[in-house]
Chains A and B, each alone.
Chain A
Amino acid sequence: MTYPFSPEWKLIHFFGAMSRVTTMKVIRLMTSLLLGSAVLIASANPEGEARYRQGVMTSVGGHMTAISMIMRQGIHRDSLKFHADALAALAKKSQSIYPEGSNVGRSEALPAIWEKPDAFRKATQRFIDASEAFAEAADSGDQGAVGQALRGLGGSCKGCHDDFRAKS
Protein backbone atom coordinates (compact mmCIF):
# COMPACT_ATOMS: atom_id res chain seq x y z
CA MET A 1 0.00 0.00 0.00
CA THR A 2 1.22 3.45 -0.71
CA TYR A 3 0.11 6.96 0.12
CA PRO A 4 -2.49 8.03 1.11
CA PHE A 5 -3.25 4.69 2.82
CA SER A 6 -0.01 3.79 4.59
CA PRO A 7 0.46 5.66 7.89
CA GLU A 8 4.28 5.70 7.45
CA TRP A 9 3.83 7.51 4.21
CA LYS A 10 1.53 9.99 5.88
CA LEU A 11 4.13 10.82 8.54
CA ILE A 12 6.94 11.25 6.03
CA HIS A 13 4.72 13.46 3.95
CA PHE A 14 3.76 15.56 6.99
CA PHE A 15 7.39 16.19 8.01
CA GLY A 16 8.59 16.26 4.46
CA ALA A 17 6.58 19.39 3.85
CA MET A 18 8.71 21.17 6.46
CA SER A 19 12.38 22.04 6.60
CA ARG A 20 14.71 19.85 8.70
CA VAL A 21 14.94 22.54 11.42
CA THR A 22 11.18 22.89 11.62
CA THR A 23 10.84 19.12 11.87
CA MET A 24 13.24 19.08 14.85
CA LYS A 25 11.33 21.94 16.45
CA VAL A 26 8.03 20.10 16.09
CA ILE A 27 9.50 16.91 17.52
CA ARG A 28 10.98 18.85 20.44
CA LEU A 29 7.68 20.59 21.11
CA MET A 30 5.77 17.32 21.03
CA THR A 31 8.30 15.66 23.35
CA SER A 32 8.13 18.46 25.90
CA LEU A 33 4.34 18.50 25.76
CA LEU A 34 4.32 14.76 26.35
CA LEU A 35 6.79 14.99 29.28
CA GLY A 36 5.00 17.99 30.70
CA SER A 37 1.66 16.25 30.69
CA ALA A 38 3.29 13.20 32.30
CA VAL A 39 4.49 15.41 35.18
CA LEU A 40 1.06 17.04 35.37
CA ILE A 41 -0.66 13.68 35.51
CA ALA A 42 1.80 12.52 38.17
CA SER A 43 1.16 15.45 40.50
CA ALA A 44 -2.54 15.45 39.65
CA ASN A 45 -2.92 12.18 41.56
CA PRO A 46 -0.88 12.57 44.74
CA GLU A 47 -2.89 9.98 46.70
CA GLY A 48 -2.39 7.40 43.99
CA GLU A 49 1.33 8.23 43.92
CA ALA A 50 1.63 7.83 47.69
CA ARG A 51 -0.23 4.53 47.68
CA TYR A 52 1.80 3.25 44.71
CA ARG A 53 5.00 4.16 46.52
CA GLN A 54 3.82 2.29 49.62
CA GLY A 55 3.10 -0.72 47.45
CA VAL A 56 6.63 -0.64 46.04
CA MET A 57 8.24 -0.15 49.46
CA THR A 58 6.09 -2.92 50.97
CA SER A 59 7.40 -5.18 48.19
CA VAL A 60 10.94 -4.20 49.20
CA GLY A 61 10.06 -5.17 52.77
CA GLY A 62 8.55 -8.46 51.59
CA HIS A 63 11.70 -9.47 49.76
CA MET A 64 13.81 -8.42 52.74
CA THR A 65 11.71 -10.67 55.00
CA ALA A 66 12.16 -13.54 52.53
CA ILE A 67 15.93 -12.95 52.39
CA SER A 68 16.02 -12.79 56.19
CA MET A 69 14.36 -16.22 56.43
CA ILE A 70 16.72 -17.68 53.79
CA MET A 71 19.75 -16.37 55.67
CA ARG A 72 18.59 -17.14 59.22
CA GLN A 73 16.55 -20.29 58.83
CA GLY A 74 18.53 -21.76 55.95
CA ILE A 75 15.44 -22.49 53.86
CA HIS A 76 14.78 -21.80 50.15
CA ARG A 77 18.46 -21.11 49.55
CA ASP A 78 17.98 -21.49 45.79
CA SER A 79 15.55 -18.53 45.84
CA LEU A 80 18.12 -16.07 47.19
CA LYS A 81 19.09 -14.91 43.72
CA PHE A 82 15.43 -14.41 42.79
CA HIS A 83 14.78 -12.14 45.77
CA ALA A 84 18.07 -10.31 45.30
CA ASP A 85 17.22 -9.57 41.67
CA ALA A 86 13.70 -8.47 42.56
CA LEU A 87 15.12 -6.16 45.22
CA ALA A 88 17.62 -4.67 42.78
CA ALA A 89 14.80 -4.04 40.29
CA LEU A 90 12.61 -2.43 42.97
CA ALA A 91 15.51 -0.31 44.22
CA LYS A 92 15.75 1.33 40.79
CA LYS A 93 12.21 2.65 41.34
CA SER A 94 13.16 4.37 44.59
CA GLN A 95 14.16 7.60 42.82
CA SER A 96 10.94 8.00 40.85
CA ILE A 97 8.30 6.99 43.38
CA TYR A 98 8.55 10.17 45.46
CA PRO A 99 7.34 12.81 42.97
CA GLU A 100 6.81 16.40 44.07
CA GLY A 101 3.46 16.83 45.82
CA SER A 102 3.01 13.18 46.78
CA ASN A 103 3.58 13.83 50.50
CA VAL A 104 -0.05 13.10 51.33
CA GLY A 105 -2.23 10.65 53.22
CA ARG A 106 -1.14 8.18 55.86
CA SER A 107 2.54 8.23 55.06
CA GLU A 108 5.78 7.87 56.98
CA ALA A 109 7.70 9.78 54.31
CA LEU A 110 9.33 12.86 55.87
CA PRO A 111 9.19 16.29 54.17
CA ALA A 112 13.01 16.12 54.08
CA ILE A 113 12.65 13.91 50.98
CA TRP A 114 11.40 16.93 49.01
CA GLU A 115 13.29 19.57 50.98
CA LYS A 116 16.71 17.95 50.48
CA PRO A 117 16.42 16.32 47.06
CA ASP A 118 20.19 15.99 46.61
CA ALA A 119 20.69 14.18 49.90
CA PHE A 120 17.68 11.98 49.19
CA ARG A 121 18.97 11.15 45.72
CA LYS A 122 22.31 10.18 47.25
CA ALA A 123 20.58 7.95 49.84
CA THR A 124 18.44 6.18 47.22
CA GLN A 125 21.48 5.81 44.92
CA ARG A 126 23.23 4.05 47.81
CA PHE A 127 20.26 1.68 48.00
CA ILE A 128 20.41 1.04 44.24
CA ASP A 129 24.17 0.35 44.35
CA ALA A 130 23.91 -1.84 47.47
CA SER A 131 21.05 -3.90 46.03
CA GLU A 132 23.02 -4.45 42.82
CA ALA A 133 26.08 -5.49 44.81
CA PHE A 134 23.89 -7.90 46.78
CA ALA A 135 22.41 -9.39 43.59
CA GLU A 136 25.94 -9.93 42.27
CA ALA A 137 27.03 -11.54 45.54
CA ALA A 138 23.96 -13.79 45.53
CA ASP A 139 24.86 -14.82 41.97
CA SER A 140 28.42 -15.68 42.99
CA GLY A 141 27.12 -17.98 45.73
CA ASP A 142 30.05 -17.00 47.98
CA GLN A 143 28.56 -16.98 51.50
CA GLY A 144 31.12 -14.49 52.81
CA ALA A 145 30.41 -12.07 49.97
CA VAL A 146 26.65 -12.51 50.47
CA GLY A 147 26.93 -11.65 54.16
CA GLN A 148 29.12 -8.65 53.43
CA ALA A 149 26.78 -7.36 50.71
CA LEU A 150 23.76 -7.90 52.95
CA ARG A 151 25.36 -5.72 55.63
CA GLY A 152 25.85 -3.01 53.01
CA LEU A 153 22.24 -3.40 51.88
CA GLY A 154 20.87 -3.18 55.43
CA GLY A 155 23.06 -0.13 56.01
CA SER A 156 21.63 1.58 52.92
CA CYS A 157 18.06 0.95 54.16
CA LYS A 158 18.90 2.25 57.62
CA GLY A 159 20.76 5.27 56.26
CA CYS A 160 17.70 6.40 54.31
CA HIS A 161 15.16 5.50 57.04
CA ASP A 162 17.17 7.45 59.63
CA ASP A 163 16.94 10.69 57.68
CA PHE A 164 13.84 10.42 55.52
CA ARG A 165 11.35 8.22 57.32
CA ALA A 166 9.24 9.04 60.38
CA LYS A 167 10.70 7.58 63.56
CA SER A 168 8.65 4.87 65.19
Chain B
Amino acid sequence: MVKPKMTVIWDLATRLFHWSLVILVSTCLYTGLSGGLDEMDLHMVSGYGVLALLIFRLMWGFIGSKHARFLSFIVSPHRVWQYLRSLGNPSRHKQPEAEYPLGHNPLGGYAIVAMIFLLLSQAVTGLFASDDIFIEGPLIHLVSYEQSRTLTGLHHLSSKLLMGLIALHLLAVAVHEILLKDRIVWPMITGRKQLPEKFATVTDTQHKPLMAIVLFTTASLSVYVIVDVLWW
Protein backbone atom coordinates (compact mmCIF):
# COMPACT_ATOMS: atom_id res chain seq x y z
CA MET B 1 0.00 0.00 0.00
CA VAL B 2 1.26 3.42 -0.93
CA LYS B 3 1.47 5.84 1.92
CA PRO B 4 -0.45 9.05 1.18
CA LYS B 5 1.84 11.85 0.18
CA MET B 6 2.00 14.48 2.90
CA THR B 7 3.80 17.74 2.77
CA VAL B 8 4.23 20.66 5.14
CA ILE B 9 2.44 23.68 3.65
CA TRP B 10 1.99 25.91 6.72
CA ASP B 11 5.06 26.80 8.71
CA LEU B 12 4.83 26.77 12.49
CA ALA B 13 4.78 30.57 12.79
CA THR B 14 1.83 30.93 10.40
CA ARG B 15 -0.15 28.33 12.36
CA LEU B 16 0.66 29.89 15.72
CA PHE B 17 -0.30 33.25 14.22
CA HIS B 18 -3.62 31.89 12.99
CA TRP B 19 -4.74 30.23 16.22
CA SER B 20 -3.48 33.05 18.45
CA LEU B 21 -5.46 35.42 16.25
CA VAL B 22 -8.57 33.24 16.66
CA ILE B 23 -8.26 33.41 20.45
CA LEU B 24 -7.45 37.13 20.63
CA VAL B 25 -10.07 38.26 18.11
CA SER B 26 -12.73 36.17 19.87
CA THR B 27 -11.72 37.82 23.15
CA CYS B 28 -11.86 41.25 21.51
CA LEU B 29 -15.31 40.64 20.06
CA TYR B 30 -16.76 39.25 23.28
CA THR B 31 -15.34 41.99 25.49
CA GLY B 32 -16.05 44.77 23.01
CA LEU B 33 -19.68 43.79 22.59
CA SER B 34 -20.19 43.49 26.35
CA GLY B 35 -18.58 46.89 27.00
CA GLY B 36 -18.24 46.43 30.80
CA LEU B 37 -15.32 48.03 32.63
CA ASP B 38 -13.38 44.81 33.35
CA GLU B 39 -14.18 43.45 29.92
CA MET B 40 -12.83 46.59 28.28
CA ASP B 41 -9.52 46.25 30.16
CA LEU B 42 -9.18 42.81 28.60
CA HIS B 43 -10.40 44.23 25.27
CA MET B 44 -7.49 46.65 25.15
CA VAL B 45 -4.84 44.09 26.07
CA SER B 46 -6.11 41.56 23.53
CA GLY B 47 -6.34 44.37 20.97
CA TYR B 48 -2.63 45.11 21.49
CA GLY B 49 -2.00 41.39 20.98
CA VAL B 50 -3.91 41.46 17.69
CA LEU B 51 -1.89 44.48 16.56
CA ALA B 52 1.40 42.73 17.38
CA LEU B 53 0.27 39.63 15.48
CA LEU B 54 -0.74 41.74 12.47
CA ILE B 55 2.57 43.63 12.35
CA PHE B 56 4.32 40.27 12.50
CA ARG B 57 2.12 38.86 9.74
CA LEU B 58 2.75 41.84 7.45
CA MET B 59 6.51 41.25 7.74
CA TRP B 60 6.07 37.48 7.50
CA GLY B 61 4.17 38.05 4.27
CA PHE B 62 7.42 39.26 2.71
CA ILE B 63 10.13 37.19 4.35
CA GLY B 64 8.21 34.23 5.72
CA SER B 65 7.94 30.81 4.17
CA LYS B 66 6.59 30.10 0.70
CA HIS B 67 2.81 29.84 1.26
CA ALA B 68 2.77 32.62 3.85
CA ARG B 69 4.07 35.17 1.33
CA PHE B 70 1.68 37.69 -0.14
CA LEU B 71 3.25 37.28 -3.59
CA SER B 72 2.40 33.57 -3.50
CA PHE B 73 -1.31 33.99 -2.82
CA ILE B 74 -2.31 37.37 -4.22
CA VAL B 75 -2.93 36.44 -7.84
CA SER B 76 -4.57 38.00 -10.86
CA PRO B 77 -8.39 38.17 -10.99
CA HIS B 78 -8.14 35.95 -14.06
CA ARG B 79 -6.64 33.17 -11.92
CA VAL B 80 -9.48 33.62 -9.43
CA TRP B 81 -12.00 33.17 -12.25
CA GLN B 82 -10.16 30.09 -13.54
CA TYR B 83 -10.13 28.67 -10.02
CA LEU B 84 -13.86 29.26 -9.52
CA ARG B 85 -14.62 27.52 -12.82
CA SER B 86 -12.40 24.59 -11.95
CA LEU B 87 -14.42 23.99 -8.76
CA GLY B 88 -17.26 22.66 -10.91
CA ASN B 89 -14.87 20.24 -12.59
CA PRO B 90 -14.82 16.84 -10.85
CA SER B 91 -11.38 16.01 -12.21
CA ARG B 92 -9.89 19.18 -10.73
CA HIS B 93 -7.50 17.19 -8.53
CA LYS B 94 -5.79 15.96 -11.66
CA GLN B 95 -4.85 19.44 -12.76
CA PRO B 96 -1.17 20.28 -13.14
CA GLU B 97 0.80 20.88 -10.00
CA ALA B 98 1.26 24.54 -10.78
CA GLU B 99 -2.50 25.13 -10.77
CA TYR B 100 -3.30 23.21 -7.61
CA PRO B 101 -3.51 25.60 -4.68
CA LEU B 102 -1.42 24.26 -1.85
CA GLY B 103 -1.63 27.24 0.45
CA HIS B 104 -4.38 29.83 0.12
CA ASN B 105 -6.46 29.28 -3.00
CA PRO B 106 -6.78 32.24 -5.44
CA LEU B 107 -10.11 33.42 -3.96
CA GLY B 108 -9.03 32.75 -0.37
CA GLY B 109 -5.95 34.91 -0.92
CA TYR B 110 -8.17 37.94 -1.37
CA ALA B 111 -10.15 36.96 1.72
CA ILE B 112 -6.87 37.02 3.65
CA VAL B 113 -6.10 40.50 2.32
CA ALA B 114 -9.58 41.70 3.36
CA MET B 115 -9.21 40.05 6.77
CA ILE B 116 -5.81 41.62 7.45
CA PHE B 117 -7.08 45.00 6.24
CA LEU B 118 -10.17 44.93 8.47
CA LEU B 119 -8.26 43.65 11.51
CA LEU B 120 -5.64 46.33 11.02
CA SER B 121 -8.32 49.00 10.74
CA GLN B 122 -9.88 47.67 13.96
CA ALA B 123 -6.60 47.64 15.84
CA VAL B 124 -5.49 51.07 14.64
CA THR B 125 -8.81 52.91 15.11
CA GLY B 126 -9.04 51.33 18.56
CA LEU B 127 -5.84 53.16 19.57
CA PHE B 128 -7.69 56.48 19.13
CA ALA B 129 -11.13 55.37 20.33
CA SER B 130 -13.02 56.18 23.49
CA ASP B 131 -16.23 54.97 25.11
CA ASP B 132 -16.57 58.44 26.68
CA ILE B 133 -16.91 56.82 30.08
CA PHE B 134 -13.82 55.09 31.33
CA ILE B 135 -11.94 53.60 28.43
CA GLU B 136 -9.73 55.37 25.94
CA GLY B 137 -7.14 54.21 23.46
CA PRO B 138 -3.50 55.00 24.29
CA LEU B 139 -3.07 57.43 21.38
CA ILE B 140 -6.27 59.43 21.95
CA HIS B 141 -4.21 62.49 22.89
CA LEU B 142 -2.92 62.71 19.31
CA VAL B 143 -6.37 63.50 17.88
CA SER B 144 -9.13 66.01 18.62
CA TYR B 145 -12.37 65.07 20.37
CA GLU B 146 -14.28 65.10 17.05
CA GLN B 147 -11.61 63.00 15.33
CA SER B 148 -11.74 60.50 18.18
CA ARG B 149 -15.54 60.30 17.83
CA THR B 150 -15.14 59.62 14.09
CA LEU B 151 -12.46 56.97 14.65
CA THR B 152 -14.60 55.37 17.35
CA GLY B 153 -17.46 55.27 14.85
CA LEU B 154 -15.17 53.58 12.31
CA HIS B 155 -14.06 51.15 15.02
CA HIS B 156 -17.70 50.17 15.55
CA LEU B 157 -18.46 50.03 11.83
CA SER B 158 -15.48 47.88 10.90
CA SER B 159 -16.24 45.55 13.82
CA LYS B 160 -19.53 44.76 12.09
CA LEU B 161 -17.80 44.24 8.73
CA LEU B 162 -15.27 42.04 10.50
CA MET B 163 -17.99 39.87 12.04
CA GLY B 164 -19.45 39.48 8.57
CA LEU B 165 -16.09 38.49 7.12
CA ILE B 166 -15.47 36.00 9.94
CA ALA B 167 -18.88 34.43 9.25
CA LEU B 168 -17.94 34.22 5.55
CA HIS B 169 -14.58 32.69 6.46
CA LEU B 170 -16.25 30.00 8.60
CA LEU B 171 -18.76 29.33 5.83
CA ALA B 172 -15.96 28.96 3.30
CA VAL B 173 -14.15 26.54 5.63
CA ALA B 174 -17.35 24.48 5.91
CA VAL B 175 -17.77 24.49 2.11
CA HIS B 176 -14.19 23.24 1.67
CA GLU B 177 -14.46 20.57 4.34
CA ILE B 178 -17.95 19.29 3.51
CA LEU B 179 -18.78 20.09 -0.12
CA LEU B 180 -15.35 20.13 -1.78
CA LYS B 181 -13.90 17.36 0.44
CA ASP B 182 -10.82 19.51 0.79
CA ARG B 183 -9.36 19.15 4.28
CA ILE B 184 -8.13 22.56 5.29
CA VAL B 185 -8.64 22.73 9.06
CA TRP B 186 -6.30 19.86 9.97
CA PRO B 187 -3.40 21.26 7.88
CA MET B 188 -3.77 24.57 9.72
CA ILE B 189 -3.18 22.61 12.95
CA THR B 190 -0.45 20.17 11.90
CA GLY B 191 0.88 22.12 8.94
CA ARG B 192 0.74 19.01 6.76
CA LYS B 193 -1.55 18.51 3.82
CA GLN B 194 -2.34 15.31 1.96
CA LEU B 195 -1.67 15.72 -1.72
CA PRO B 196 -3.38 14.29 -4.79
CA GLU B 197 -1.58 11.27 -6.35
CA LYS B 198 -0.40 13.42 -9.23
CA PHE B 199 2.28 15.08 -7.16
CA ALA B 200 5.65 13.49 -7.53
CA THR B 201 7.78 15.72 -5.39
CA VAL B 202 6.92 18.70 -3.29
CA THR B 203 9.42 20.31 -1.00
CA ASP B 204 8.36 20.80 2.58
CA THR B 205 7.90 24.35 3.71
CA GLN B 206 10.73 25.64 5.87
CA HIS B 207 9.74 26.86 9.32
CA LYS B 208 12.47 29.49 9.81
CA PRO B 209 11.77 29.65 13.57
CA LEU B 210 14.61 32.03 14.41
CA MET B 211 13.45 34.55 11.82
CA ALA B 212 9.88 34.25 13.15
CA ILE B 213 11.03 34.90 16.72
CA VAL B 214 13.05 37.96 15.67
CA LEU B 215 10.12 39.36 13.68
CA PHE B 216 7.56 38.71 16.41
CA THR B 217 9.83 40.35 18.99
CA THR B 218 10.14 43.37 16.71
CA ALA B 219 6.36 43.50 16.29
CA SER B 220 5.77 43.25 20.05
CA LEU B 221 8.30 45.99 20.73
CA SER B 222 6.56 48.24 18.18
CA VAL B 223 3.26 47.73 20.00
CA TYR B 224 4.95 48.41 23.32
CA VAL B 225 6.24 51.70 21.94
CA ILE B 226 2.77 52.60 20.64
CA VAL B 227 0.80 51.81 23.80
CA ASP B 228 3.30 52.72 26.48
CA VAL B 229 6.02 55.07 25.24
CA LEU B 230 3.70 57.17 23.07
CA TRP B 231 0.92 57.11 25.69
CA TRP B 232 0.50 60.81 26.45
Q: Which residues of A contact B (CB under 8 A)?
A: 61, 64, 67-68, 150-151, 154-155, 157-158, 161, 167-168
Contact = CB atoms under 8 A, between A and B. Distances in A.
14 contacts: A61-B132, A64-B134, A67-B134, A151-B36, A151-B38, A154-B133, A158-B35, A158-B131, A158-B133, A161-B133, A167-B156, A168-B149, A168-B150, A168-B153
Contacts of A67: 134
Nearest to B152: A168
A61 B134 CA distance: 8
B134 A68 contact: yes
Interface in B139-161: 149-150, 152-153, 156
A161 B156 CA distance: 15
Given A151-B36, A151-B38, A157 B133 contact: yes
B113 interface: no
What size tier do the contact residues of chain B reach?
Answer: 10 to 19
A64 B150 CA distance: 21
Contacts of B167: none
B153 A167 contact: yes
A61 B150 CA distance: 19
Nearest to B153: A168
B175 interface: no
Contacts of A154: 36-37, 133-134
A162 B118 CA distance: 25
A129 B152 CA distance: 29
B36 A155 contact: yes
Contacts of A64: 133-134
Contacts of B133: 64, 154, 157-158, 161
A79 B152 CA distance: 30
Contact of B37 (A61, A151, A161): A151
B126 to A, nearest CB: 13
Nearest to B41: A72
B124 to A, nearest CB: 16
Contacts of A150: 37
A150 B37 CA distance: 8
